[in-house]
Amino acid sequence: MNILVTGANGFLGRGLCQSLIASGHNVRGAVRHNKSAMFAIGRLSDVDVEVIGDIKNDTDWTQALDNVDVVVHLAARVHIMREKATNPLDEFRKVNTFGTERLGKMAASSGVKRLIYISSVKVNGEMTENTAFSEDSIPNPRDPYAISKFEAEQKLQSVSSDTGMEFVIIRPPLVYGPGVGGNFLRLMKYIKNGIPLPLGSIKNSRSLIYIGNLVDAIVKCVEHPSAANKTFMVSDGEDLSTPDLIRRLSKALDKPARLILFPQSFLSLVFKLAGKPDDMDRLTDSLVINSAKIRSELNWSPPYSVEQGLKKTAEWYNADEKSV
């Protein structure tokens, strides 16, 4: 099949393009600008790269969609640590909601058979208590990013209803693997540098997904007829507490886990005084996914264990430590 991947030069996009090519598909990668195109060409020599500019409600996808069978839409406006927009929700909607709707409508008009949208578990909410999130859970997006993602899902379902183009929605949790950034990369740096972490008292459970497992699930959704018009939750299938993740990651990095037992109430106060209560929530709250649906309906199972995923991530970090 001929497949268009948006965000082809990103953390997830590069691995997905490589896997799709290995599976025998023809891949076209959409990137924002020429600098991204040159980077993508250097990393993805077998990908036809198309520069499409900013994703918004009037982006011209005509050339990128020419003769395409399936679109995998990865590109998005993601979390920004120091948000400068006066109305962040409007900015997220421009790209994630209306930009996605525009792509969906043009894809349907171009004869695309299926559009796969990478959403987020945050559509379901920020935390779980007694029950894991599943596809049947009532959506509860809380921040501008999650709201824009949920609205994009609804737009694509509407386009599908109007045109007959199939959609697939995938809601992953935190994705890790070679090339990861953000808090996961910061955690590896702390462990590698032997910095004590006052997180030993945390009792929670969180789902993660290794990038190789997410890529495999996306390829399955590209190829499997039963994926049409479905929403899937995906994860590694083994949930970890924050201290367990640190211990497992420390082992993969061949470093001791310097965990300190520190009362969670005091830890919450420290984060609150630092103006970062959301960071505290991500460390202490539970967020668990039930991925039984994709396993049963598409006969999918993660090809990599958590141990293998962390090991490959640690190997990348050790190899590239000077550059990250």
Question: Nearest-CA neighbor of 14 among 33, 29, 24?
Answer: 29
Question: Nearest-CA neighbor of 288 among 176, 171, 207, 203?
Answer: 207
* Contact (CB, 8 A) for 168 and 111: no
* Contact (CB, 8 A) for 29 and 73: no
Cβ-proximal residues to 129 (8 Å cutoff; 6+ apart), any chain? 286
Question: Which residue is catalytic, options 117, 145, 210, 317?
Answer: 145
145 is catalytic: yes
Adjacent-strand bridge partners of 206? 240, 287
Q: What angle do CA 315, 320, 324 make, to 5 degrees?
A: 120
In angstroms, the CA 92 to CA 147 distance is: 9
In angstroms, the CA 30 to CA 36 distance is: 9
As annotated, the active-site residues are 145
